[in-house]
Structure 1
Amino acid sequence: MESNGDASDRSNFRAMDTVRNIWTGLDLPPQALHSLRLDETGHELASSYKLSHLAQSSIALSALAAALNDSHHNSTSVAAVSVPLEHASAEFATEHLYFLDEKPAENKWGPLGGLHKTKDEYVRIHDNLINHRLALLRILGLSDESTREQVAEKILNWKATDLEQAGIDNKAVIYALRSEDEWNATPQAKAVPDFSISINKISSAGERGYPSRMPLGSDRCLRGLRIVELSRIIAAPVAGKTLAAHGADVLWVTSPTLPDRPMTDIDVNRGKRAISIDLNNPKDKEALYELIKDADVFLQSYRPGSLSRRGLSPSGLIKIRPGLICANLAAWGTQGPWKENRGFDSMVQTASGMNVSEAQHFDPSSATPAKPLPLQALDHASGYLLAAGIAAAVYKRAVEGGSWQVDVTLAGTMKYLKSLGQLPGKEGFREGTKLPKELVTEDMMETKESGYGLLKAVRHSARVEGKQPGWDFMPKPPGLYEPKWL
């Protein structure tokens, strides 16, 4: 079953309408929606886009899907679920809001990235990972020690779309700044589906029901569910983190051969146990296969095709473990000419017209070409939607058996967010709207010891009656946990 939804105008939706729209699009039991309580009052995030709406509804979807599994497993009614608007909005920026040993989170942007003027327009560069930074410098014919000023000077010699294509061809992450009309004219825009989650049954192999290791009457909705997670940066890690908050045992697989972002990982990998596996090492690869044999979910966010070449495609995975749920997070979509391209939240905002439109709403008289959203909304929403999709697939497997595939893309989330409409004029920046750091209150925070120091961070905003969503494990440097299930 694949849910494609529709292309209807959702500009009159409230957060509850969005939950209902996606829930019914996934063909989940409609009576469960009666258990959801959403109070949509409170301060909202400053943006022309309905970001607080998206935060509250996507987090609510993930929590309600977890509660549905608990209900089905225990043959009880679905527990009441609630998500406060302001808390959800703050949780959408949690990687920027934590404190480590009382020091605030560090800036996570690369030294060369951001918006740059080209010969004709603008491009945005993403260089948070060193391999992408070096690829950029090679394209520009610069040394590894080049400065931002030298990069900016070289970029002035390029047309925006030419540099974008050079980035695509040479493993850099560079995208041209487009207006809405320019984005809509691209083949990739036409390939992005109108619905934000796709769930397909890919094999009849796989038993019905829940694993015996998932206890009845547990303190968390998904206690005992096993997830192997191969992910990077924010979106897919948020999915794993969310499922961990509902009790899943999540093994986050890192590689000693790939660059990392430890200051981001500290937050988004709460609740997980980080293990180090080198897929180029036959012994390590076999250890991963052994973990997959006893897993329920394989969650990954590497560029489409990269794991398939290592035998870890959905078809290959379900041979290792029939009944597995294969969950994928991609940037641009599962169809279209950009489907295998690298991409991040900021790049999708840039290329899709969002940054241009946001700037025009913020100040129509300004010459500022682009205004980014106040947080990585596409990353976070995609993470919660993917968690919801995974929980939905767990339920479907329990009801009818089989192996399942779940797909969520940043571009699909972007398209859904756009379908909710924008606030007119400067309404989204009116007095009373706030930036993420202005929304956080002490009662939204929790403080626990981690492998990096004392971590104070935003706790999970979803509440499930009779349950205790939260995280059992705090982050430690990769490799300190053994590659074993609890």
Structure 2
Amino acid sequence: MSISNNLINRTSFSAADVVKDIWTSLQLPPHALSSLTLPGHQAAPATPSSFKIGHLAQSSIALSALSASLLHSTQSSPSSSPVSRVSVPLEHALVEFKSERLYDIDKQPLEDPWGSIGGLHKTADGYVRIHDNFPCHALGTLELLGLPPSASRQDVAAKVAQWKSVDLETAGTEKGKLAIYALRSYSEWDAHPQSVAIDNNPILVRQFAPGPPKNPSTTKSSSRCLQGVRVLEMSRVIAAPVAGKTLAAHGADVLWITSPNLPNQPVLDRDLSRGKRTIRLDIHNSDEKDRLLELLRTCDVFIQGYRPGSLASYGFSPEELQKINPNIICANLSAFGPSGPWSQRRGFDSLVQTCSGMNISEAEHFGAGEPARAMPCQALDHAGGYLLATGVMAALYNRSRVGGSWVVDVSLAGVMKYLRSLGQYPGKTGFESQDFVKQADVPAEYFETRDTGFGKMTAVRHSASVEGCEVGWGEMPKPLGSDEAKWL
């Protein structure tokens, strides 16, 4: 497989090499790496894909757990103190990368979270992928195509066929408020200015403003690595919620804020809200906006996964937040990162796969003549979430030593670029491995069954363990807005 001129060649990397590479880029203490064990790692394919998703799953979850262990070990000890041992088994990590597809409540099958008009459509000169999970995207796409709300998928296909791919992408995604991307090859993506603008490091952590060192509100001895860390999360879909869920697994108090004005995603939310308390606030209401600002004034971390700039327009930019909370860590999950012509664009895992050449390359490796083939899980979303959590913990570590406010950026495109740099398995060999499509495919020990606000839930346990520490979720899913808007 060829590696593009603007990609670092990491084709020889193991999962341990990935951890070391990203850990080193974050300038975290190298002695911690000796505390990591990665059972089951193999050079062979671990899930049906030409991409090295097994490497990505095991390493991204390991990075988050090792960061948590580092924070726990250094809360009251010197920075060179031993770090509790961390273990992340490969198979369990891969299963967790599909957690939102592998749970049930009261043994009932999950509803399909996808809309009826989305997916891949043929255009006059190629293909586009339409994202229709949210009603506003589906209805907006129909309006753009001149179709009524009752239009069928066949109606959409007929209209899309009259467009050129990039023209429809531009009309929908750049000029409109939709999520439509043209299917590109690697060579087409590599020639695009946004491709070059994406950093080779998937986690970007920078000090935003100086200040005195600060630890979380509670630093008392605890079996929970992140006890006392206060996290405010405003997010949608998968990637940013995975970050909050990961911090919660290590003991952070995570308040997940949703808006009563926006549609929810029940199938995704019930897996991704584990560990979190849920509150509803309307930032258009002055009293509720003040309540949010009070929470921001007293939090450690603010995670947001909305389109870049959208929350800033309501007064929630890093600049504004730093004024009210000089120690805040602002963590952003975006589609394309903070730089480049697409930095303000919305996007989702499947769309980044589409526009970056991944889908075409996957189809070519599979060899069935398809125009495009998606990866077997939302790997960019899941890895992006674990990497954002890692960046947050790196910022917490830095804040405890040098102080100040910090900004963390992770993008789906940055994860894509890193995964591509690991290379691909030759020919169809990557697809000669098992997949975890349903619960029956998964070893029983990877599940836990708990009571929730919706019934009895059987879902994937967290795959990381930290020696001597409790890892897992206390809070279980419940109806949105069930909790009080205050810290524990």
TM-score normalised per structure 2: 0.96
Give the distance between the partners of 2:233 and 2:217, measured in 1 at CA: 22
From 223, 243, 247, the equivalent of 2:247 is 243
Q: How does 1:207-246 map to 2 (within 5 A)?
A: 207-216=212-221, 218-246=222-250
CA contact (8 A) 1:90 1:436 kept: no
Equivalent in the alignment of 1:198: 204
CA contact (8 A) 1:87 1:439 kept: no
Uncovered stretches (5+) of structure 1, i.e. residues with no partner: 1-5
Q: Deviations over 1:9-33 (max 9, x none)?
A: 1000000000000000000000000
CA contact (8 A) 1:234 1:380 kept: yes
Equivalent in the alignment of 2:112: 107
CA contact (8 A) 1:90 1:439 kept: no
Q: Deviations over 1:206-248 (max 9, x none)?
A: x3142342322x1110011000100000000000000000000
From 390, 401, 417, the equivalent of 1:388 is 390
CA contact (8 A) 2:216 2:230 kept: no
Give the distance between the partners of 1:104 and 1:93, measured in 2 at CA: 15
CA contact (8 A) 1:331 1:344 kept: yes
Distance 1:7 1:176, change over 3 A: closer
Uncovered stretches (5+) of structure 2, i.e. residues with no partner: 1-5
From 68, 73, 76, the equivalent of 1:74 is 76
Report whether the alignment pairs 1:360 with 2:361: no
Q: Deviations over 1:186-219 (max 9, x none)?
A: 11111111110100001113x3142342322x11
Letter paired with 2:420 = K
Q: How does 1:130-209 map to 2 (within 5 A)?
A: 130-168=135-173, 169-205=175-211, 207-209=212-214
Q: Deviations over 1:51-79 (max 9, x none)?
A: 01100000000000010000100325200
CA contact (8 A) 1:378 1:414 kept: yes
Give the drift of 1:46: 0.9
Equivalent in the alignment of 2:3: none
Letter paired with 1:394 = L
Give the distance between the partners of 2:38 and 2:485, measured in 1 at CA: 39
Give the distance between the partners of 2:229 and 2:20, measured in 1 at CA: 26
Letter paired with 1:411 = A
Equivalent in the alignment of 2:19: 19
Equivalent in the alignment of 1:117: 122
Give the distance between the partners of 2:441 and 2:53, measured in 1 at CA: 13
Distance 1:436 1:16, change over 3 A: farther
Distance 1:414 1:397, change over 3 A: same
Give the drift of 1:8: 2.8
Equivalent in the alignment of 2:415: 413
Report whether the alignment pairs 1:290 with 2:291: no
Distance 1:227 1:270, change over 3 A: same
CA contact (8 A) 1:241 1:270 kept: yes
CA contact (8 A) 1:96 1:106 kept: no
Structure 1 counterpart SS, 2:75: helix
Q: How does 1:232-311 map to 2 (within 5 A)?
A: 232-311=236-315
Equivalent in the alignment of 1:3: none
CA contact (8 A) 2:214 2:327 kept: no
Distance 1:212 1:273, change over 3 A: closer
Q: Deviations over 1:278-319 (max 9, x none)?
A: 000000000001111110001101111111111110111111
CA contact (8 A) 1:46 1:435 kept: no
Equivalent in the alignment of 2:476: 474
Equivalent in the alignment of 2:402: 400
Distance 1:320 1:439, change over 3 A: farther
Distance 1:41 1:21, change over 3 A: closer
From 365, 376, 379, the equivalent of 1:377 is 379
Letter paired with 2:100 = E
From 452, 455, 463, the equivalent of 2:454 is 452
Give the distance between the partners of 1:49 and 1:214, measured in 2 at CA: 41
CA contact (8 A) 1:293 1:321 kept: yes
Give the distance between the partners of 1:315 and 1:98, measured in 2 at CA: 40
- How many residues are paired up? 476
Give the drift of 1:7: 4.6
CA contact (8 A) 2:253 2:276 kept: yes
Percent pairwise identity: 55
Letter paired with 2:342 = W
CA contact (8 A) 2:15 2:41 kept: no
CA RMSD of aligned residues (A): 1.3
Give the distance between the partners of 1:191 and 1:40, measured in 2 at CA: 35
Give the drift of 1:353: 0.5
Give the drift of 1:479: 1.3
CA contact (8 A) 2:436 2:442 kept: no
Give the distance between the partners of 1:344 and 1:305, measured in 2 at CA: 16
Give the drift of 1:439: 5.3
Q: Deviations over 1:313-363 (max 9, x none)?
A: 011111111110010000012111111111000000000000000011011
Equivalent in the alignment of 1:89: 94
Q: How does 1:294-373 map to 2 (within 5 A)?
A: 294-363=298-367, 366-373=368-375
CA contact (8 A) 1:374 1:435 kept: no
Give the distance between the partners of 1:211 and 1:242, measured in 2 at CA: 17
CA contact (8 A) 1:116 1:122 kept: yes
Q: Deviations over 1:81-127 (max 9, x none)?
A: 01000000010010011011111322211111010111111110100
Give the drift of 1:367: 2.5
Distance 1:184 1:439, change over 3 A: farther
CA contact (8 A) 2:217 2:229 kept: no
